[in-house]
Structure 1
Amino acid sequence: MQYDAIILAGGENTSELKKIAPYDNEALIIIDKYPMIHYVYQALRNSSFIKNIVICGPKEALRNIFIKEENLLFAESGENAIESFSNSVKLLENHSITEKILVMPTDIPFITTEAIDDFINRCEKSRADFYYSITTKEVNEKVFPGVTRTYVKLKDGTFTGGNLFLVREKVIPRCLRVGVELIERRKNPLAMAKLFGFGLVWSFITKQLTISKAEKRFYEVIGIKGKAIISPYAEVGVDVDKPSDLELAQNYLKG
């Protein structure tokens, strides 16, 4: 089975990163000899699972980077990731959109084709509407010792969110509505707790929360069957959003 893919490349360069990488957009930051978006695109393009690719961001600048590429579409970025995703989906709908769509950000230059293929293979082994990647602290520390990530302790282990997502095309409208609501609540823990229930929050506080319990509650509240995919590839869970990450990428991807 083949999948269309979306790279969300509309993220503005943060003030902290911009001090050492003076580009307005993260996708255009040069790592070794190439813009950051180059590494993500190449890993994606080399996957046999991938059909059309949409890059959502500053269209003219991105077109100049990929001027000779085929089966590559460009969408204008929105005010946030949800709007950008929506713009990309609308573009794909004019090109025989696939049953499921792979989504990823532009700030993961460490990503490899092997990691992408492994994620898709694991997704195909279970039925869900929305698949999201996670990685363990042990995996990340083994490949990138000392890298700073936000980890969550669950009964199953200690995990960090990954950067690969697979979503069923039929549930995208619902995902967009939920995404807007989650963005509105993201800085308000009380509002988030009200959405998912204090029982889930208490399970987390007492370290009794499991992945399966979180998935079940997600379905009860949102109506979308989500599935966490534990990736053995650290490249899935490490992104570039601060100077130390960029320094790591410069050393790691040096030609």
Structure 2
Amino acid sequence: MTRTALVLAGVRPGRDALADFAGVTHKALIPIGGVPMVERVIAALRDSGRIDRIVVSIDRPELIDLPGVEILTSSTSVSRSVGEAFEALGAPLLVTTADHALLEPEWIRWFLDHLPDADVVAGLARDRDVMAAAPDTKRTFLRFRDGRFSGCNLFYLRDPRAVRAIQMWQIVENERKKPFTLLRRLGVRAVVAALFGRLTLGYAMRRIEQIAGCSAGVVELPFGRAAIDVDKPSDLMLVRKMVEG
């Protein structure tokens, strides 16, 4: 089975504040250890030994010219870019981001080796592992009764049914700055459980399945650094310190 990986490297409409800070046109081109972040991600995918085809989604295709790497023109949002790429590339599809500058081949292999039987899968890391790996990092953790988790920018779309999750992703993306609105979509029971600290990750996943109309699962990665991407200047300085220091 051919495994395709999609690397999201585009920018949302408007200026990219982090790219401006680093003096480049796109965040994906910010150098870490002398290598643009997108190239570090591509190298990790290749070295994992599990990926046969690498595709980069970016709004300016002329910026990426790497041997063996295909290019798709990104859309106006992350979810739309994933949706259009999924339609063009088909399933299964591994999705990650160009700002996942610390990505390592071992993490990719772990993620793929532990996939549950679900249409769409996301990688997560526990807060204790993240903070042990990078005590200075500031992450946003999803709080559940059974633990606090951070996303690892690794997603797996197993079959065509995963397109339903992408459609839900578009809704989530539009409401990403309204956490209560997002929680309310899970239903009254989920809201009450969250308010009293009783919401479990398993129940949240079952509600997502019911709403999206496809099966969903998670892979817990034991690598705390897998949850560290480069979203702001402090992230950039931390990741550069990890790689270059």
TM, length-normalised to structure 2: 0.91
**How much does 1:77 deviate?**
1.1
Corresponding residue to 1:89 among 86, 94, 102: 86
Q: Which SS does the other structure have where 2:136 is aligned?
A: coil
Look up the match of 1:54.
55
The AA in structure 2 aligned to 1:6 is: L
Corresponding residue to 1:220 among 204, 210, 214: 210
The 2-side partners of 1:20 and 1:190 are apart by 31
Deviations 1:9-55 (A, max 9, x none): 0035732x245301121111112211111111100111222111110
Look up the match of 1:109.
101
Look up the match of 1:29.
30
**How much does 1:189 deviate?**
4.2
Unaligned runs of 5+ residues in structure 2 are none
**How much does 1:193 deviate?**
3.9
Q: Which SS does the other structure have where 1:111 is aligned?
A: coil
Residues 1:158 and 2:155 are matched in the alignment? no
The 1-side partners of 2:139 and 2:193 are apart by 22
Provide the alpha-carbon RMSD of the alignment. 1.9
The AA in structure 2 aligned to 1:164 is: L
Task: Quickly say closer, same or farther: Cα 1:22–1:243, change in 2 above 3 A.
Answer: same
Look up the match of 1:177.
167
The 2-side partners of 1:60 and 1:103 are apart by 21
**How much does 1:198 deviate?**
1.8
**How much does 1:164 deviate?**
0.3
TM, length-normalised to structure 1: 0.88
The 1-side partners of 2:173 and 2:232 are apart by 22
The answer as to whether partners of 1:2 and 1:49 remain within 8 angstroms in 2 is no
The AA in structure 1 aligned to 2:99 is: D
How many correspondences in the alignment?
Answer: 242
The 2-side partners of 1:221 and 1:173 are apart by 13
- Give the % identical residues: 27
Q: Which SS does the other structure have where 2:23 is aligned?
A: coil
Q: Which SS does the other structure have where 1:253 is aligned?
A: helix
Unaligned runs of 5+ residues in structure 1 are none
Task: Quickly say closer, same or farther: Cα 1:221–1:90, change in 2 above 3 A.
Answer: closer
The answer as to whether partners of 2:184 and 2:190 remain within 8 angstroms in 1 is no
